[in-house]
Structure 1
Amino acid sequence: MKRETQDRWINISSGLLTALVIIGIGYFSFTSYQKIQQAALNENAAKISDENKIAKSERIDTKEVENELNRLAEEKRLEEARIAAEKAAREKAAREKAEAERKAAEKAAQEKLVREKAEQERIIAEQKAAEKQEAEKVAAEKAAAEKRAQEKLAQEKIEQERIATEKKQAEEKATQEKAEAERKAAEKKAAEQKAAEEKLAQEKSEKERLEKERIEKERLAAEKKEADRKAAEAKKTEEESRIAAALNSEYFSQVHAYLYALWITPPGSYGLSTTIQFKVKEDGTIIGMPIIIKESGNEEFDNSVFVAIMSAEKVPMPSDPVVRKYLAKEGFEITYRPTN
């Protein structure tokens, strides 16, 4: 809590205590005044014993007021003493903190001066070393440059002599190469002409061979396609026959009997029917969520059919793997109707 907030609360507390004292004095004074007025109005009718009781009551009320005022004054004194002690403690802590911060700042400033002095000395030493190194570098570069210039002059002279010799040799070689090139060009032209004629003949022969192969491949592909089509049709016809033979009324009656045994028919279901679809694995295990594709109009009846399918683990499956695969692909569609 900030010092300004604490001082504000101290002032509020002091004001409240003072107000309580004033209210207490006023309350007891008003009470005593009322009792005195009441006694004056009934003075002629009151007895001497009653006057003594009133006087005694007034003394007791006055004593209570004094006690209450003393208690409130003592509480105010104790509260002011506590507040003064807290304030003195805060001021002492603030002085000690300020002194510690001052000493820390002086120490940090001295350390900073030492570091800055050391840094300046280091920079000066580095500058001197760099200047010395730069002077040595310039001298070395100057000597190397002079040496390179002398070597360059010697190399240029040697290079000029080499160029003159190579030029002469090149001219002689060019004459020889020209004659050789003319001979080779004539031979190459004759060879290219012969190769072109042979290439044309080979390309013609290869083209005829490729055309024969293409025609043969197309014929074989057409024959294979037709054979595959006939085989697929035969296989499809055979599978359809096996499926039709397996999915007879006897098999579906078996499936219906198994699923109907799990169905709890709600009361009053006569005349209702619900059609539901569901998927199975090849072993007959029911998978996914059943779907009611035709509702009965009675939610309780439809829910009973849904629950019957969900409670079934597997449905009976034919032994033929082709038929099992077909059922696993197509699924089942069952219509539930009450039997009685």
Structure 2
Amino acid sequence: MCVRLRWVQKSNFMGPCLSETELISRFFNFNIPGQWPTQGIGDDCAIIQVGNRRLAVTTDTVASGTHFLPNVDPYTVGKKSLAVNLSDLAAAGADPRCFFLALSLPKSDSSWLEAFSRGLYECAKEFACPLIGGDTTKTAKIGHSQAPFSITITAIGEVERGLTRQGAQIGDDIWVSGTVGDAYLALMLRTGQWAGACDSYLAAAMDTPVPRVALGQFLSHFATACADISDGFLKDLGNILVRSNVGAEVYVDRLAVSPQLAQRTQKERRQAQLAGGDDYELVWTAPESARQRIIDYAQKSQENGQPLLLTRVGKVVSSGLKLLNNDGGEIQNTFYGFDHFAQEDV
């Protein structure tokens, strides 16, 4: 799933405002039996059995003003639009196979499209995921202006087993890849909500995330549940807990932190790491017996000349969610991830 910019808004709907999850569950959980068995809705990908093949399918829409700042480079729009879908495939442990593109534009701007298509192509080539179809349309006119662009991508991958958010077991370890919170820090700095300058590392974290496709494929052999971190670590971990009907104890200060985020206050750091989102890292659960296997993989999977950061941050328990500091003291949970339709934002 793709994260959205954190603009504080009030709902224009009359009556109670449903969360994104409630909206989907209430109005679109049709539960109609079909010829292609699936695990139902509620995961990063639908896992579909088609003959002797098992497919992972995901769809994400991104839009100017909701997912991207107004002055965004179209090259990074193209690259990120596909990357966030491949991150969903990574969470399923899938090998990318192809994608479809639906593009809505206010006008046919050749320079914008050249940069956009170049970013899209580079991401597609890197992960051997060809574009095989789609649609283009012009956005609606609102007042005297055209509505801004929106992009919908449907990506398809192939899996052996297929990871979902359902399956975490009591006693499992909770793991996270990379450093979370950097993209949110970039957003806060760029929008002037936090003081400081957004450097090239933070800009890349927000603009050109790298989906953890190889890691997801590795995890697919033994992880019990997995999700990509798009709407905030706690929210995406929470999706695993709900789907698996379990709880968790999380040591929040064990989350790996970048030098840039480490310089911020504890309040800002925890806000960015626990609720920021837009990271496109993976959070997963695995049995204790898999610890050495994960550590060995991290050592072999070099990133920028260093072992890949894979951090064990907690434990699956029977119920509830406890946030703990390094001394085991409980921290009040005041952190909330992003929801399209929440009346107030994080």
Category of TM-score, reference length = shorter chain: under 0.3
Higher share of residues assigned helix:
1
Q: Which has the higher contact order (CA 8 A, sep 6+)?
A: 2
TM-score by length of 1: 0.15
- Tell me which structure has the larger Cα radius of gyration: 1
Q: Report the TM-score, using the length of structure 2 for normalisation.
A: 0.15
Structure with higher strand content: 2
